[in-house]
Amino acid sequence: MCGIVGVIACRNVSKILIEGLSRLEYRGYDSSGIAINNEDGVYSHRAVGKVQALKDKFEAYPLDGKIGIAHTRWATHGKPTEANAHPHFSGDDLALVHNGIIENHEPLRRELKAKGYEFKSETDTEVIVHLIHDAMKSQPDLLKAVQASLAKLEGAFAIGVVQKDDNERFIAARKGSPLVVGVGIEENFVASDQLALLHVTDQFIFLEEGDVVELSRDQVTIYDAKGEPQERPISVFNHNIDATDKGEYRHYMMKEIYEQPKVIAACLDGRISETKVLTSCFGADSGFLKEVENIHIVACGTSYHAGMVAKYWIEDLAGLPCTVEVASEYRYRKVAVPKNTLFLTLSQSGETADTLAALRMAKELGYLTTLAICNVPSSTLVRESALTLLTNAGAEIGVASTKAFTTQLTALLITSIAIAVENGLSAEKEKELVQAMRSLPAYVDLALKEDAHIKNVADRFANKHNALFLGRGTMFPIALEGSLKLKEISYIHAEAYPAGELKHGPLALVDENMPIIALVPHNDMLDKLKSNLQEVAARGGELYVFADKDTDLHSEENIIFTEVPKVDSILEPIVHTIPLQLLSYHVAVVKGTDVDQPRNLAKSVTVE
């Protein structure tokens, strides 16, 4: 999604802004731009495509100044063209960057046109800058004009705005879209996330909904939605700084796949003992574990798939009903909330607009409490949820989620067991599960050892146009996740089905051109799944089987076998995810797609 960087300093800010944009590239975008404010006025460059195109313009025509705002745009209103790229201007007086969507932009545009404003883009953003310009006719102070204008906007926004002739400050604001203030020495910053500013500061202030902030070189003044000045705490960034460094790897995605043994261990650290789940990981208020009678899980995309796995775990281990729903559906329907229901959100970023909206709606619906399983401690989701369990995966840069997913599953397993213990799970069974979890990082490491073999499989796979993923039980959501990974980064059309559904329709698709990826752990469903595979083989389908040795499956004509470590059945969904991540990665590399920033996608989906 769109990314914002803003700087006021005693030095030239153009390099800081460009580096900030490069650090935001992972969020997904299709054009970029920068406005620099100096004594002569506000000047800008905009470019379609990668930030490199913007850098090229800067090299050809340098812009110097001590205040600037910059933007990566992920197109919503209007195509990715230079005219639609931010910053947008009102005359030559004001320049503005925006992340979010202004829902009432059409009536505002009509009003502003009637007042004589000329629009140069198709964006919803352009109304904001003209609105502020119009407000300044009766209220010449930029801060007050911004506050008055924002009150007229419906939708979500984070903005940065600079004014010609004001070389002492710029204004930023947020409501519904993320924005963080970076605090420096005689220089201050804003950005869509902390990673964009780690080259200049590690001190951050997280803005609340509706905050407007005035930034000068030596001061950051924050006003809340009512216009009252507010003190907000400064936090020091504690993620590993080399999150933005690919190290020895060609792509962030591969680096993040290989980090999984380490980050799963970090997710387990301090949350389990030799024999037990430590409920203190839910904070002082873990009393909900005793009271909960139902669980509603709400999330999007990969996080939703993690939630689907947790449904199997919770209902199996705790015997409590659990429903799982995508946030974009949940937020627009009338929800019946049974007594003592836990509302559980899952999100890597903690900034996904639909998930946040679902949480805000749920808070009005009388749930027992709200728990967020999230990877970003400073995120809006964490700040707005009553309880949090952090996944501790470290910053994930690749758009295709990998380590964030397996750590979500790890955190969900901890949660499922904790709830189950209060609902009759024996101490003996808890110990067995916890001991299995302690071996998880080592098994994930073992699964990674198949990398070279999977790379060969990928060579065979890369010319395919479609793929069908099959799994049963907890392997069904993993099949969904495998197919999503393949779609996202290799652009191969892929679908996933519970294997038992094959004969109810999708079997019609099976012929020698349809690869079938089957996830076959050695568990209770093995014989049933083998029958499903027979149905495929009988129709000439090419089977890519991911199974452990005990299944007695192996490579033969029309079967390409990949070994997955044999693990306790509770760990199967996590361990079986690894080869599917590697398969998608290698297929994408063979196809030459942009692995870390696949087309049309954004890392943090901050608009509806």
Interface with ligand AGP (CB under 6 A): 300-303, 347-349, 352, 355, 399-401, 488, 605
Catalytic entry in 50, 164, 487, 603: 603
Query: Are 361 and 189 a contacting pair, CB within 8 Å?
Result: no
| Biggest CA pair distance of the chain | 79
| CB-nearer residue toward ligand AGP: 302 or 597 | 302
Element (H, E) at 512: none
The single-letter code of the amino acid at 144 is K
Q: Which residue is nearest to ligand AGP (CB)?
A: 301
Taking the C-alpha atoms of residue 580 and residue 525, their distance in angstroms, rounded to an integer, is: 20
**Contact status, residue 3 vs residue 29, Cβ threshold 8 Å:** yes
State how far the Cα of 77 lies from the Cα of 106, in Å rounded to an integer. 11
Q: Which amino acid, one-letter code, is at 352? A: T
The minimum distance between CB 244 and ligand AGP, in angstroms, equals 18
Q: Could you confirm whether 374 is annotated as catalytic?
A: no
419 SS3 class: helix
User: Measured from the CB of residue 188, what is the shortest distance to ligand AGP in angstroms?
Assistant: 27
Nearer to ligand AGP, 201 or 302 (CB): 302
Return the number of the residue (108 or 195) whose C-beta is nearest ligand AGP: 195
Beta pairing class for 466-471 and 515-520: parallel
**273 vs 600 by CB, closer to ligand AGP:** 600
Compute the least distance from the CB of residue 60 to ligand AGP, in Å.
35
Q: How far apart are CA 289 and CA 527, in angstroms?
A: 36
Shorter beta-carbon distance to ligand AGP: residue 214 or 325: 325
- Contact between residue 490 and residue 588 where contact means Cβ atoms under 8 Å apart: yes
Smaller CB distance to ligand AGP: residue 517 or 543?
Answer: 517
Q: What distances in angstroms separate CA 357 from CA 105, 156, 363, 399, 604, one per listed residue?
A: 20, 11, 10, 22, 15
Q: Is 50 a catalytic residue?
A: no
Catalytic residue (choose from 2, 267, 300, 322): 2
- CB 479 to ligand AGP: min, Å: 15
Q: Distance between CA 138 and CA 158 in Å, rounded?
A: 24
Q: CB-based burial of residue 310 (10 Å sphere; 0-12 exposed, 13-18 middle, 19+ buried)?
A: buried
Q: Give the separation between CA 250 and CA 272, rounded to whole angstroms.
A: 35
Shortest Å, Cβ 604 to ligand AGP: 6
Q: From the CB of residue 383, how many other CB atoms can be counted at a distance below 10 Å?
A: 14
Minimum gap (Å) between residue 129 Cβ and ligand AGP: 29
Instruction: State the catalytic residues.
Output: 2, 603
